């Protein structure tokens, strides 16, 4: 780790309280960089690196989707997975007020409220996945099953390429 004393994020404290094993990876980064560029910078495979997307449904409810960084959320599959007629991406300006996180540091753990969470089923192909640690420059590495457990999430095919 980069620092002697890692400052824990809310997401890490939640994992600690839930007694879930995880590792933290930190990197230097002053501003938002998309997940693909971070994975390239750190030499991490795209398939195990996941991004957190927040949507709002036709009903006005918020939903969290966790998908591989190089993939695109299939809005029809996403809406179906959460029982909505349609969902649309949350505007960047609203991310902090809805989640408590900023763009580039958004993680499915420890948002202001517990939103319905769906993790792309491709995560189940791996022993570990990488998600944001809850702030820019921080990552959490944990098992996809533990991620689903702590977010009370479910696995579904929700990306444009997830036709398997």
Q: How far is CA 143 from the centre of its chain?
A: 13
Rounded-to-integer distance, Cα 97 and Cα 40, Å: 30
Under the banding of pLDDT at 50, 70 and 90, the label for residue 43 is: very high
- pLDDT of 37 reads 85
Q: Is the pLDDT of residue 57 over 90?
A: yes
Q: Is the pLDDT of residue 18 over 70?
A: yes
Q: Which two three-digit tokens encode residue 46? A: 């795209």
Closest CA to 45 of 129, 108, 134: 129
Of how many residues is the chain composed?
Answer: 164
Which letter does DSSP use for residue 49 in this model?
Answer: B
Q: Which two three-digit tokens encode residue 128? A: 């570990």
CATH superfamily of 10-126+143-156: YbaK/aminoacyl-tRNA synthetase-associated domain (3.90.960.10)
- The answer to whether the beta carbons of residues 44 and 141 sit under 8 Å apart is no
Q: What is the mean pLDDT of the chain?
A: 91
Domain spans of the chain, in order of start: 10-126+143-156
Rounded-to-integer distance, Cα 148 and Cα 145, Å: 5
Under the banding of pLDDT at 50, 70 and 90, the label for residue 105 is: confident
Closest CA to 99 of 69, 68, 55, 57: 55
């Amino acid at each position: 780790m980069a620092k002697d004393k890692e400052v824990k994020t809310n997401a890490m404290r939640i994992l600690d309280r839930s007694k879930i094993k995880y590792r933290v990876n930190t990197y230097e980064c002053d501003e938002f960089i998309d997940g693909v560029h971070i994975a390239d910078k750190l030499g991490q495979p795209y398939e195990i690196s996941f991004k957190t997307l927040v949507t709002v449904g036709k009903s006005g409810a918020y939903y969290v989707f966790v998908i591989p960084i190089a993939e695109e959320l299939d809005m029809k599959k996403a809406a179906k997975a959460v029982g909505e007629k349609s969902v649309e991406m949350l505007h960047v300006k609203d991310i902090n007020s809805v989640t408590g996180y900023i763009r580039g540091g958004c993680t499915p753990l420890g948002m202001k409220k517990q939103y319905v969470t769906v993790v792309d089923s491709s995560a189940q192909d791996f022993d570990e996945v990488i998600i944001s640690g809850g702030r820019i420059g921080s990552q959490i590495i944990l098992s996809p099953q533990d991620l689903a457990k702590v977010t009370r999430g479910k696995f579904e095919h929700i990306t444009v390429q997830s036709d398997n």
